[in-house]
Each structure stands twice: as structure tokens, then as C-alpha cells.
Amino acid sequence: MSLALQTFSTVKDANAALQAAGTRYLGGGTLVVRAANEGDVSTSSLVRVTDPGLSQIAVAGGNVGLGASVTMAAIASHPELAALAPAACAVGGPAIRNMATVGGNLFAPAPYGDFAVALLALGATVVNEDGETPIETFLANRDTSRAIVTTVGFALPGAESFRFLKVSRVKPKGVSVLSIAALLELAADGTVVSARIALGCMADRPIRATAAEKALLGCKLTPREIAPALAAAGEGIAPITDPIASAWYRTEVLPVHLGRLLSN
Amino acid sequence: MAKVPVQFTLNGSEKAEFIESGTTLLHALRDKIGDTSPKGGCHQGTCGACSVIIDGELRLSCLTLAETCNGADIKTTAGLAEGGVLHPLQRAFLDAFATQCGFCTPGMIMAAKVLLDRTPNPSRDDVVEALSGNICRCTGYEPIIQAVLVAARANSQNAA
Ligand SMILES: Cc1cc2nc3c(=O)[nH]c(=O)nc-3n(C[C@H](O)[C@H](O)[C@H](O)COP(=O)(O)OP(=O)(O)OC[C@H]3O[C@@H](n4cnc5c(N)ncnc54)[C@H](O)[C@@H]3O)c2cc1C
Ligand code: FES
Ligand code: FES
């Protein structure tokens, strides 16, 4: 492995250094260093930032700001982020969770990116030097984005409105067959007023299940009423095939697991 | 490749080395410093054999660049025995036949140590969760889980 690491105290200086060819940002390193160990020579130089602000978690007025260097373990143990703990705990084993960052998860290709699935359902905003970007736009353009992500922001969901499910074959820490996150607002009588559903492993990156979201509006979360939403969940998906599951298998089991997540 | 200075505490001793930039902590510990207790199994983050404790947290030394550890407190299995007496976890792994080829053992012990430091009386599920990032190809895991539970009981009896 031939890698050189450059350390900066500010994001601004690091962003300038990142413009050089063959240079990549180092978050927790669980994907970047792994790639280098595997013999990937496309990266010759890594850049990191030591600004402690990047590791801060801010919860105020119902809004959350997660620094890009915040780890999955930090989220899982934060008393005010209990609603997000299942999504953070879905990422790898204990050592991986101590290293894996929010910023890195946004760039992780399927079958990874479980926490990014949660952030997509939450309608998060991704902040870098270009300003604030809705997460959908960010994910669509992430392959060409070279700017360092500094923060993600979103409204803290109530425990009742946010649901997350990861399906894996090896328990407790195997990679995803699929993951699903749902942000649901229900009226007093239990009717769905708004729904955001995000899927992992149903494309090369987290995607929205927009047809299922629409079909859920006005429904109660009973097996009969959610059936059209489950039937619509496969619209627009292109699941990955990997050693864990084929695209066919992922397509077949998606409605089953979405049904389990939605049914009370 | 440029050499960079790295300084950290390893099992209570100060270490200062010049290493090639981009060197993993696993490589620095084993090949430069001579602590061969962390094992290089997969170098991919999957097996956990290289697990060490950095500033109280379990981490994978194969995915950690040594120069990011400046000023850190690093613990490896090599530092556990005191005055020639094995740590209760090491003793329990031997007594419970939790070690066969032994390759996974240092990583397992580090993962178990972090658990027992925080949760002195863990449940079986706690142990399974704590070891879930560590692969053993020999034991079938049950003796390892039992060893950690035995070490926890020994610890709580010592404390009582
Ligand atoms: C054994 C193992 C198991 C895993 N299991 C899971 C799992 O179950 N679920 C899951 O989701 N993931 C899993 N992962 C993948 C990975 O650990 C996580 O996705 C993690 O969140 C990636 O974050 P990182 O900080 O380590 O990324 P890094 O490896 O540091 O970076 C990944 C990519 O993101 C870029 N990047 C990182 N931070 C920023 C930033 N702030 N701004 C701009 N670019 C940035 C890097 O340049 C790089 O291209 C696993 C990995 C391993 C090795
Ligand atoms: S060698 Fe580090 S996890 Fe396998
Ligand atoms: S004892 Fe051989 S790998 Fe665990």
C-alpha cells in the first residue's frame, strides 16, 4: 500500500487539498483503508480534518445536527437520539460502529449505507462548502461530489413516527439483504397523513419508494389497507445482486418486510 | 514515501516511531514495534483478529492509520498479564477451551475486555453482541461465550 495522509485543522484547507488527483477524504476509514488494503491504487493520498466541530451532535428545538465525523456508536449511545439507535446499530459490529462515520455512510455503496437510508427517510439536509442540499439530490450526485460533507441536519422524529428495519442473514451483524426506513405521520384515527419511505439495497444507493408512499396516504396500517402500497413498493427499484442475495430474491422479499415494518 | 513521527502509549509504555505515511496501526504494531498480539486475518475489517482498544474503544487496527493515533492510549492483549499472572479473561479462555488455533483469541479478548470494562455482569446476549465483529473458524463460539461469562463472574467475585 502506498498512501500518504495529510492532516488539516480546517475543512477549507482540506477541501483545497482534495482537488488534487488521486486524493480522497478519510472518514473512519472502514471503506477507504479497506480498499487500499485490497490493492486499490486509485487513491494515493488521503486527507483528513481534525476540527472537533465535525464530531459534534447538536439537538435543539426538535432539530438535529450531526457532524460528518460522528460515529454510529456515538449516535447509538446518545440519550436524545434513541429513535435513530436501531439504524446506527445496524452498521457492522462494535468495532466498525466505533469507526464508521455519518459522512462515510452517505457515500457507502449498497449493500452498505444503512444509516443513509434512515437519513433519506428523515428528509435530511446535507451540508458542504457548496451549501445545503436535500439528501435525494446529494445521493444522486455523490459520485462526482468532491467537497467534504460537514453536517447533516433533520427534524428529530418522534419515537412513534420513525421506523427502521434491517434484514440480514448473519445475526447480529451481517450486511443487509435490504433495509427500510419509514417516517409516517398518522391522524388521530390512525390514517396515514404523510409518508416517506427509503429503501437500501434496492439500487446502488438508498432510494425512495415514492409509489408506495403515495399508495399509503389515507390508509390505516392494517394488512388489507396497506396491500396496494406493498404491491407498489417494487416500482422503480433495481436491486443489487451480491453474495448475500440476488436481485430477484431482494425484489420478492421487499413487500414482505415492508409489510412487517408498516403493520402495527 | 515520507516518514512521519508517531507517538502513543502502548500498554502503559511511551512509544515514539518514524513510520511511512499511510501505514496501518496493525502494521506499525507488529512490524515496527514488535507487538505481534494483534493478528492480521483479513485486513478488511471482517474478522476482528486485529482488534485493539484505542482510548477505551474497540477498533480495528487493520483499518486505522497509525498516524491518526498520535497521543492515543492503545491497549493490546500483550499488555493484559501483570507480573506474569494472566488476566482473568486470558485464564478463562484457557480454562474453558475457548482457544484452539488461537488466531482469533487476542481480538476476542480485546472485544470481551471492552464489554467487561463497561458491563461487569453481562448477559449472554450482551456477550454475543460484543463479539459479533469477531470471527473464529475453530471453536464454534460457545466456549468463547462461556469463557467471557466465567471471567465476568470471577471479576465480580473479586470485587465483592
Ligand atoms: C466489516 C464491515 C462491515 C460493515 N457493515 C456495514 C453495515 O452493516 N452497514 C453499513 O451501512 N455499512 C457497513 N460497512 C461500511 C462502512 O463501515 C460504513 O458504511 C461507514 O459508515 C463508512 O464510513 P467511514 O467513515 O468509515 O468511511 P470512509 O471509509 O472513511 O469513507 C468512505 C467514502 O466516503 C468519503 N467520505 C467519508 N467522509 C466524508 C465526508 N465527511 N465528506 C466527503 N466524503 C467523505 C470517503 O472519501 C470515501 O470515499 C461495513 C464495513 C466493514 C469493513
Ligand atoms: S485483520 Fe482487521 S478485521 Fe481482519
Ligand atoms: S481458535 Fe482458531 S480461529 Fe478461533
Q: What average pLDDT does the segment A141-168 reach?
A: 95
Task: State the best of B3, B50, B65 to mutate against chain A, taking most chain A CBs within 10 Å.
Answer: B65
Judging contacts by C-beta atoms under 8 Å, the chain B residues touching residue A48 are: 68
CA B135 to centroid of ligand 3, rounded, Å: 8
Q: Ligand 1, residues A12, A23, A30, A48: which to mutate, most atoms within 8 A of Cβ?
A: A30
Q: Does A95 touch chain B (CB under 8 A)?
A: yes
Using alpha carbons, select from A153, A128, A129, A137 the residue that is nearest to residue A206: A137
The whole-number pLDDT of residue B158 equals 65
> What is the nearest CA distance from A171 to chain B, expressed in angstroms?
8
The whole-number pLDDT of residue B159 equals 59
Reported confidence tier of residue B2, pLDDT bands at 50, 70, 90: confident
In the predicted structure, residue B48 carries a pLDDT above the cut 90: yes
**Chain B 61-80, residues with CB within 8 Å of chain A CB atoms:** 62-65, 67-68
Q: What average pLDDT does the segment B56-61 reach?
A: 98
Place of cell 477524504: A25
The whole-number pLDDT of residue A248 equals 98
- B122 CB near ligand 2 (under 6 Å): no
Q: Ligand 3, residues B137, B141, B146, B148: which to mutate, most atoms within 8 A of Cβ?
A: B137
Reported confidence tier of residue A186, pLDDT bands at 50, 70, 90: very high
Place of cell 476476542: B108
Distances (CA, A) of B103 to B26, B47, B96, B99, B136: 15, 10, 16, 8, 8
CB pairs A-B closer than 8 Å: 85
Distance CA A171, CA A253 (A): 18
pLDDT, tens digit (0-9, with 9 covering 90-100), for A62-95:
999 999 999 999 999 999 999 999 999 999 999 9
Judging contacts by C-beta atoms under 8 Å, the chain A residues touching residue B58 are: 94-95, 98
Peptide bond just before A111 cis, omega within 30 deg = yes
Q: Looking at ligand 1, which atom is closest to the CA of residue A149?
A: 42
The whole-number pLDDT of residue A148 equals 98
pLDDT, tens digit (0-9, with 9 covering 90-100), for A8-52:
999 999 999 999 999 999 999 999 999 999 999 999 999 999 999
Q: What average pLDDT does the segment A248-253 reach?
A: 98
Computed over every residue of chain A, the mean pLDDT equals 96
Indicate the pTM of the whole model.
0.97
Q: Quick check: B63 and A33 CB within 8 A? A: yes
Mapping DSSP onto H, E and C, the string for chain A reads CCCEEEEECCHHHHHHHHCCCCEEECCCCCCHHHHHHCCCCCCCEEEEECCHHHHCEEEECCEEEEECCCEHHHHHCCHHHHHHHHHHHCCCCHHHHHHCEHHHHHHCCCCCCHHHHHHHHCCCEEEECCEEEEHHHHHHCHHHCCCCCCEEEEECCCCCCEEEEEEECCCCCCCEEEEEEEEEEECCCCEEEEEEEEEECCCCCCEECHHHHHHHCCCECCHHHHHHHHHHCCCCCCCCCCCCCCHHHHHHHHHHHHHHHHCC
Q: From the CB of residue B30, how many other CB atoms can be counted at a distance below 10 Å? A: 19
Biggest alpha carbon–alpha carbon distance for chain B: 54
The whole-number pLDDT of residue B1 equals 67
> What is the nearest CA distance from A65 to chain B, expressed in angstroms?
24
